[in-house]
């Protein structure tokens, strides 16, 4: 396979690049700044923004598969900023790929594109819902996913993968923030930490992206949720991450409504102050931490012929080793 | 006429068609009908009531029985049929239906399906077309106003001048009111469907006229038509009839069901417990049930053979010359009766009942405490040929009410307490009092019956194929179900118990378990009920038991695990009872440790635990020594099937359904299926349940899940409805619960599934002494995962509670469905509360 992967500076991107290169695929990458993994493996790099058609056209040249992972993530930013990178950027990449005769377009999405705020217990992949998805990130990803999947069959095969809460050694997003907050004693649980959530150990998410590229024909036009298939309470997940990092787990818990209020206040305060770091609580986070979201992986397993190879227990052992 | 607007929930516009024809008054009219399209086997002709339209039948139109066509007519002036400006009375409506079927050219077999006041219309049509009538399905309807019904009050109130128009025509309230009777109230989009044809007062005119056309008084213009239909039902004795009933209907109550059953005793009945008037709305499975029933038409099941042994009262009759006590009561107001006196009372009661107009086949509920009177009445009723409705006080007051309403007894026999309770249950039954019952209107007393009986002939006894008893399941998994036994089946049960435990007339019984307290007389052995509250077996002390044993020098003691637990607690200082040869624990699974502990009181006894259920008992039996020897496994070992009983397993498939063919292969988990002469005849007024339970001819599906081991011993793994279906296949609860219960801090555990079937996760809910409800402490969680490691399930969470919900009767059967719902709520981030 000749693969172009966008967003190789992220942990998931970098690990996916490694996995593809290791099995002998030709890999090129594209992102704004040179990435460590590309330097290390000596891969072709296309530097630039995903919204730039010229860079995109040059990048897809010669590729038969695009794995589009580059995105604006997090909670900080305006609707316009998210739209620009995640929707316009995806359009540009998709158009360039079609133009260049790329066969497969794998869109890395998120289960939050279909999460309207209610608890999800054992749900299969529902259609992306930009109107009701919570937060600008999810809305923009939902719009983009819908467009990508709608483009299937128009001279290109498209597929979307929705890994849920990816974590592992070196992860600064989930693990990093939890550990940092725990260190500062600023970590609190929402709703007693009881909600059950699915997460994905890094290697399993990498396997799923590779599987999606391999099985794009079988899963064409559809979205697939990826997780470890071992839901745990928020309380247990946070405690075990803290434990692996040698930090004390949180003991405080705030009710869901209080967390939501605190999130609303913090978001406004951050906006007024013009801060670009993450507020300590957001409404999106309150929802994520305060309601269950775990999934039915049967379709993903069957269609992508993928299995989570690393169990949570093994994942935590590896995480602890990375902190040691 | 017009067509339904597009987008009505559950309605396919392609079903709508117009039927234009000249009606019996010579005027051309157009009807709106829903039509599922051609069917080579016949047609289901569906008629709605008031206020409604063919929308009511949309689920049936969507899924007709294979080969059948479904036609659902909007009655004239209703739904989307023409508005005529005429008053259409019942006779005209029957003519109208005739006109429609003629115009449609329906000449093949027809099954009429009707609800509410559509009932008389469809029956009127049926009586005119008996040559093509293949079956009759009726739901919450009537052909006659029974005197005791309250419906006329409701309708009369609605017909008060000035009220009717306001309610039915000027507003949508009559439709709304009808829909809000529904349990649960239909969703807004469904309500919208019902309102659709009635959006203007002018379009609602017929709703009012329909109410006015109900003949409440003689001389009413439609009275003669309705009476003719009611009288004509006798002509349908060879036509299969299915009555689908919503028991919570405030208008067409169970009294109407009884009236219809009196006219069509051969009818199949299914009561949807919890459903109200709009059965097709409240019980959406009705469509599949009707389809199943229609498919069964013309297929004949071989009748089950009923074995014949000695009559139930023969045990007493054989010993009538014996001065030995037959029944001994313990406690303050204790009485004793000899076999001779008991025999006389049984015959007097039977004769007195017959002389008082109680017929063979009449249903009679007993709300009498176990003891001398209850034994005499029970066997007297059996001797008379009446059907005894036995409700266990362990069902609780609400459970008893539900059970009695479903049974619909003609009489209730009770003491003051029993009748006082029965009075509040809204039963259409007459009361017979045992002893003083001040303030309660009883038509007869037991004394009067016995006096009459002393001078009246003893009636002919019933035969082995006559119904004898209606017992109720414990309702641990849904509403209690009525279970009907024939005399021959109860005789077979007595024989099975006698041979299994080598019971002879030299035995003497102490029965601290309701159902068995009455068995002694049938076995022809003296029996004692210890001084205890039989509804709360936990109250039996070791001393009270010892007193009872001493009273007859008992050889056998039957008790429930709850009673045994208290006996174990209170046994200090109570001397051993070497005369007892058999200790039987019955009613619920018993821990071996408990049985062993109690056995220390009975040094010469063997301890056994039979396995069975209300529908068939005994099925299997296990000796305490075997129980101790088999150790732990996936479930609870209940031993080998007893002689005369065949057990097979119907394997669970990947979706957790028991679809496997009956097999005795070891280590295959599936539904336990039983064949025995002492199996129930059928579930009562639960046609759908009965069809599912006996879908293998000659076998009863127990609803329990289990497997055989290499030695042919049966292990029970839980209830079929409690099977957890994960992405990797079905998981059964009991074995896992037993292992979790081996953790010292855990008193009781439930393994439940959360999430949708097929993608469920296994969650353990543990009852611990000091527990707050919520997530288990990390330590306990890890220990639970550890003990379950060999089951390879992933356990996402462990919860604790201070008390798991259990059934009232046995205080041991966990309501796992409820626990599962609670666990899901907690783990979704909802309120904790209690399960």
Q: Is residue A72 part of a domain?
A: yes
- Inform me whether the pLDDT recorded for B168 exceeds 70: no
pLDDT tier at A247, thresholds 50, 70, 90? confident
The CATH number of residue B107's host domain is 3.40.50.1820
Rounded CA separation B40/B37 (Å): 10
A137 catalytic residue (yes or no): yes
- Inform me whether the pLDDT recorded for A313 exceeds 90: yes
Q: Which residues of A touch B827 (CB under 8 A)?
A: 121, 194-196, 233, 292
Q: Are residues B383 and B471 in the same domain?
A: yes
**B686-739 residue pLDDT tens:** 999 999 999 999 999 999 999 999 999 999 999 999 999 999 999 999 999 999
Closest CA to B283 of B64, B483, B59, B117: B59
Give the DSSP H/E element, type plus range, for residue A190.
strand A189-190
Q: Is residue B197 part of a domain?
A: no
- If you count residue pairs, one on A and one on B, with CB atoms under 8 Å apart, how many are there? 78
Q: Are residues B233 and B258 in the same domain?
A: yes
Distance of CA A228 to the CA centre of its chain: 14
**Which residue among B755, B826, B828 places its CB closest to the CB of A291?**
B828
Tell me which of A138-142, A277-281, B207-211, B697-701 is least confident.
Answer: A277-281
Q: Is residue A9 part of a domain?
A: yes
How close B782 gets to chain A, by Cα (Å)? Answer: 11
Q: Is residue A240 part of a domain?
A: no
pLDDT tier at A118, thresholds 50, 70, 90? confident
Question: Quick one: pLDDT at residue A186?
Answer: 75
Q: Is residue B153 part of a domain?
A: no
Q: Are residues B822 and B741 in the same domain?
A: yes
Q: Are residues B705 and B793 in the same domain?
A: no
**Which residue among B781, B796, B829 places its CB closest to the CB of A231?**
B796
Q: Are residues B270 and B398 in the same domain?
A: no
| Contact criterion met (CB < 8 Å) for A296 and B759 | yes
The range of the structural domain enclosing residue A138 comes to 2-164+202-227+294-309
Closest CA to B237 of B133, B141, B144: B133
Rounded CA separation A109/A164 (Å): 9
Q: Are residues B228 and B133 in the same domain?
A: yes
Q: Which tops the pLDDT comparison, A108 or A290?
A: A108
Q: Is residue B619 part of a domain?
A: no
**B737-785 residue pLDDT tens:** 999 999 999 999 999 999 999 999 999 999 998 778 899 999 999 999 9
The range of the structural domain enclosing residue B384 comes to 339-486
Mean pLDDT of A112-119: 85
Q: Are residues B711 and B768 in the same domain?
A: no
| Contact criterion met (CB < 8 Å) for B756 and A229 | no
CA-only gyration radius of chain B, Å: 29
Q: Which residues of A touch B830 (CB under 8 A)?
A: 119
Q: Structural domain tally of chain B? A: 4
**B311-354 residue pLDDT tens:** 999 999 999 999 899 999 998 778 999 999 999 999 999 999 99
Q: Which pair of structure tokens corresponds to residue B651? A: 């394997």
Q: Is residue B245 part of a domain?
A: yes
Q: Is residue B235 part of a domain?
A: yes
Active-site option among A83, A105, A107, A137: A137
Tell me which of A36-40, A203-207, B589-593, B621-625 is least confident.
Answer: B589-593
Rounded CA separation B696/B788 (Å): 35
Q: Is residue A247 part of a domain?
A: no
The CATH number of residue A138's host domain is 3.40.50.720
Rounded CA separation A189/A252 (Å): 6
pLDDT mean across residues, chain B: 92
Q: Is residue B588 part of a domain?
A: no
Question: Quick one: pLDDT at residue B369?
Answer: 86
Segments of B686-823 assigned E as strands: 700-708, 714-719, 724-726, 729-731, 746-754, 761-768, 774-775, 798-801
- Inform me whether the pLDDT recorded for B158 exceeds 70: no
The number of beta carbons lying within 10 Å of the beta carbon of residue B657 is 17
Contact status, residue A81 vs residue A121, Cβ threshold 8 Å: no
Q: Which pair of structure tokens corresponds to residue B835? A: 């399960």
Q: Structural domain tally of chain A? A: 1
Predicted structure pTM score = 0.90
Contact status, residue B253 vs residue B271, Cβ threshold 8 Å: no
Q: Are residues B774 and B631 in the same domain?
A: no
Q: Are strands B658-663 and B646-652 parallel, antiparallel or unpaired?
A: antiparallel
Contact status, residue B662 vs residue B654, Cβ threshold 8 Å: no
Q: Is residue B546 part of a domain?
A: no
Rounded CA separation B376/B356 (Å): 17
Which sign, positive or negative, has the C-alpha torsion B639, B644, B650, B656? negative
Rounded CA separation B313/B348 (Å): 13
**B38-79 residue pLDDT tens:** 899 999 999 999 889 999 999 999 999 999 999 999 999 999
Question: Quick one: pLDDT at residue A60?
Answer: 95
The residue out of B458, B486, B514 marking a domain boundary is B486
The CATH number of residue B808's host domain is 3.30.300.30
Q: Is residue A116 part of a domain?
A: yes
Q: How far is CA B755 from CA A53, B652, B821, in A?
A: 45, 20, 9
ipTM over 0.85: yes
| Contact criterion met (CB < 8 Å) for A192 and B828 | no
Mutation target to probe the B interface, by most B beta carbons within 10 A, among A126, A196, A225, A251 is A196
- Inform me whether the pLDDT recorded for B218 exceeds 80: no
Q: Is residue A176 part of a domain?
A: no
Tell me which of A112-126, A192-206, B613-627 is least confident.
Answer: A112-126
Q: Are residues B796 and B733 in the same domain?
A: yes
Q: Is residue B634 part of a domain?
A: yes
Q: Are residues B710 and B745 in the same domain?
A: no
Q: Is residue A269 part of a domain?
A: no
Rounded CA separation B74/A65 (Å): 59
Q: Are residues B280 and B361 in the same domain?
A: no
The residue out of B451, B486, B521 marking a domain boundary is B486
SS (H, E, C) B143-211: CCCCCCCCHHHHHHHHHCCCHHHHHHHHCCHHHHHHHHCCCCCCCHHHHHHHHHHHCCHHHHHHHHHHH
pLDDT tier at A226, thresholds 50, 70, 90? very high
Q: Are residues B354 and B433 in the same domain?
A: yes
Question: Quick one: pLDDT at residue A256?
Answer: 65
Rounded CA separation B470/B382 (Å): 12
- Inform me whether the pLDDT recorded for A237 exceeds 80: yes
């Amino acid at each position: 396979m000749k693969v172009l992967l966008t967003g190789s500076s992220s942990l998931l991107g970098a690990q996916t690049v490694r996995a593809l290169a290791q099995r002998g695929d030709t890999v090129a990458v594209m992102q704004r700044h040179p990435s460590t993994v590309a330097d290390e493996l000596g891969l072709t790099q296309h530097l630039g923004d995903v919204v730039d058609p010229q860079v995109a056209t040059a990048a897809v040249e010669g590729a038969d598969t695009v794995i589009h992972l580059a995105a604006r993530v997090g909670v900080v930013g305006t609707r316009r900023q998210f739209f620009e990178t995640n929707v316009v950027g995806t359009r540009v990449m998709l158009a360039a790929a079609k133009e260049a005769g790329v066969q497969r377009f794998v869109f890395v999405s998120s289960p939050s594109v279909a999460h309207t705020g209610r608890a999800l217990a054992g749900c299969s992949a529902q259609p992306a819902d930009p109107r009701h998805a919570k937060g600008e990130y999810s809305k923009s990803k939902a719009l983009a996913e819908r467009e990508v999947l709608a483009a299937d069959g128009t001279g290109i095969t498209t597929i979307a993968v929705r890994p849920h809460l990816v974590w592992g050694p070196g992860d600064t997003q989930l693990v990093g923030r939890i550990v940092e907050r725990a260190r500062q004693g600023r970590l609190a649980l929402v709703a007693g930490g009881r909600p059950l959530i699915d997460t994905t150990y890094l290697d399993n998410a990498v396997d799923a992206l590779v599987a999606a590229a391999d099985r794009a024909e079988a899963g064409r036009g559809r979205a697939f949720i990826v997780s470890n298939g071992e839901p745990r309470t928020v309380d247990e997940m946070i405690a075990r991450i803290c434990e692996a990092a040698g930090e004390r787990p949180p003991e405080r818990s705030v009710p869901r409504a209080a967390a939501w209020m605190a999130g609303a206040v913090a978001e406004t305060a951050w906006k007024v102050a013009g801060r670009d770091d993450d507020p300590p609580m957001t409404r999106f986070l309150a929802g994520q931490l305060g309601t269950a979201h775990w999934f039915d992986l049967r379709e993903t397993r069957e269609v992508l012929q993928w299995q989570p190879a690393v169990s949570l227990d093994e994942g935590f052992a590896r995480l602890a080793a990375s902190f040691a | 006429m017009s067509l339904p607007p597009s987008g009505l929930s559950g309605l396919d516009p392609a079903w709508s068609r117009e039927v234009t024809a000249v009606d019996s008054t010579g005027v051309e009219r157009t009807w709106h009908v829903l039509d599922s399209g051609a069917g080579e086997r016949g047609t289901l002709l569906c008629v709605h009531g008031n206020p409604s339209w063919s929308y009511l039948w949309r689920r049936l139109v969507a899924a007709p029985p294979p080969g059948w066509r479904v036609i659902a007519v909007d009655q004239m002036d209703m739904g989307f049929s023409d508005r005529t400006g005429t008053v259409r009375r019942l006779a005209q409506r029957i003519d109208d239906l005739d006109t429609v079927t003629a115009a449609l050219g329906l000449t093949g077999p027809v099954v009429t399906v009707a609800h509410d006041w559509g009932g008389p219309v469809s029956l009127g049509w049926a009586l005119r077309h008996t040559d093509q009538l293949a079956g009759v399905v009726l739901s919450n309807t009537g052909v006659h106003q029974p005197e005791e019904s309250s419906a006329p009050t409701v309708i009369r109130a609605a017909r008060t001048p000035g009220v009717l128009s306001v309610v039915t025509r000027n507003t949508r309230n009559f439709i709304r009111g009808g829909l809000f009777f529904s349990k649960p109230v239909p969703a807004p989009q469904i309500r919208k469907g019902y309102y659709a044809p009635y959006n203007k007062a002018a379009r609602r005119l017929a709703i009012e006229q329909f109410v006015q056309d109900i003949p409440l008084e003689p001389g009413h213009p439609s009275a003669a038509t309705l009476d003719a239909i009611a009288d004509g039902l006798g002509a349908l004795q060879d036509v299969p009839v299915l009555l689908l009933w919503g028991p919570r209907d405030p208008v067409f109550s169970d009294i109407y069901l009884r009236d219809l059953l009196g006219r069509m005793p051969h009818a199949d009945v299914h009561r949807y417990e919890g459903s109200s008037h709009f059965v097709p709305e409240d019980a959406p499975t009705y469509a599949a049930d009707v389809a199943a029933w229609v498919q069964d038409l013309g297929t004949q099941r071989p009748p089950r053979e009923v074995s014949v042994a000695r009559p139930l009262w023969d045990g007493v009759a054989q010993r009538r010359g014996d001065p030995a006590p037959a029944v001994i009561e313990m406690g303050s107001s204790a009485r004793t009766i000899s076999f001779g006196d008991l025999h006389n009372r049984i015959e007097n009661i039977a004769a007195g009942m017959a002389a008082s107009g109680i017929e063979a086949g009449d249903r009679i509920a007993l709300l009498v405490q176990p003891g001398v009177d209850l034994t005499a009445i029970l066997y007297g009723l059996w001797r008379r040929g009446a059907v005894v409705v036995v409700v266990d006080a362990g069902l609780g007051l609400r459970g008893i009410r539900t059970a009695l309403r479903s049974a619909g007894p003609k009489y209730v026999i009770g003491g003051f307490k029993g009748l006082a309770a029965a009075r509040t249950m809204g039963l259409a039954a007459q009361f017979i009092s045992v002893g003083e019952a001040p303030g309660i209107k009883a038509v007869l007393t037991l004394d009067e019956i016995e006096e009459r009986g002393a001078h009246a002939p003893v009636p002919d006894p019933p035969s082995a194929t006559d119904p004898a008893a209606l017992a109720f399941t414990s309702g641990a998994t849904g509403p209690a179900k009525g279970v009907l036994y024939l005399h021959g089946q109860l005789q077979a049960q007595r024989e099975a118990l006698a041979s299994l435990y080598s019971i002879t007339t030299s035995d003497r019984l102490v029965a601290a378990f309701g159902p068995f307290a009455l068995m002694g007389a049938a076995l022809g052995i003296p029996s004692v009920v210890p001084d205890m509250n039989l509804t709360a077996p936990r109250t039996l002390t070791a001393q009270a038991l010892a007193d009872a044993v001493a009273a007859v020098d008992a050889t056998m003691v039957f008790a429930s695990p709850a009673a045994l637990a208290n006996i174990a607690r209170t046994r200090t200082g109570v001397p051993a009872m070497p005369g007892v040869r058999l200790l039987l624990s019955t009613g619920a699974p018993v821990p071996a440790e408990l049985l062993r502990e109690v056995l220390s009181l009975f040094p010469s006894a063997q301890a056994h635990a039979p396995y069975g259920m209300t529908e068939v008992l005994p099925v299997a039996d296990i000796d305490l020594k075997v129980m101790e020897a088999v150790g732990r496994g996936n479930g609870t070992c209940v031993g080998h099937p007893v002689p005369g009983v065949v057990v097979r397993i119907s394997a669970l498939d990947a979706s957790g359904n028991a679809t496997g063919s009956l097999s005795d292969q070891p280590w295959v988990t599936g539904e336990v299926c039983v064949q025995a002469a002492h199996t129930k005849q059928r579930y009562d007024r639960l046609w759908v349940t009965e069809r599912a339970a006996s879908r293998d001819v000659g076998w009863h599906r127990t609803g329990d899940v289990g497997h055989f081991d290499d030695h042919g011993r049966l292990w029970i793994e839980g209830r079929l409805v409690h099977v957890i279906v994960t992405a990797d296949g079905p998981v059964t609860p009991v074995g896992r619960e037993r292992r979790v219960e081996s953790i010292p801090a855990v008193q009781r555990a439930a393994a439940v599934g959360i999430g949708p079937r097929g993608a469920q996760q296994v969650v353990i809910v543990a009852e611990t002494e000091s527990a707050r409800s919520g997530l288990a402490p990390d330590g306990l969680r890890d220990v639970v995962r550890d003990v379950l490691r060999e089951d390879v399930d992933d356990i996402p969470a462990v919860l604790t509670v201070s008390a798991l919900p259990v059934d009232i009767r046995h205080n041991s059967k966990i309501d796992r469905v409820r626990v599962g719902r609670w666990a899901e709520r907690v783990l979704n981030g909802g309120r904790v509360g209690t399960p």
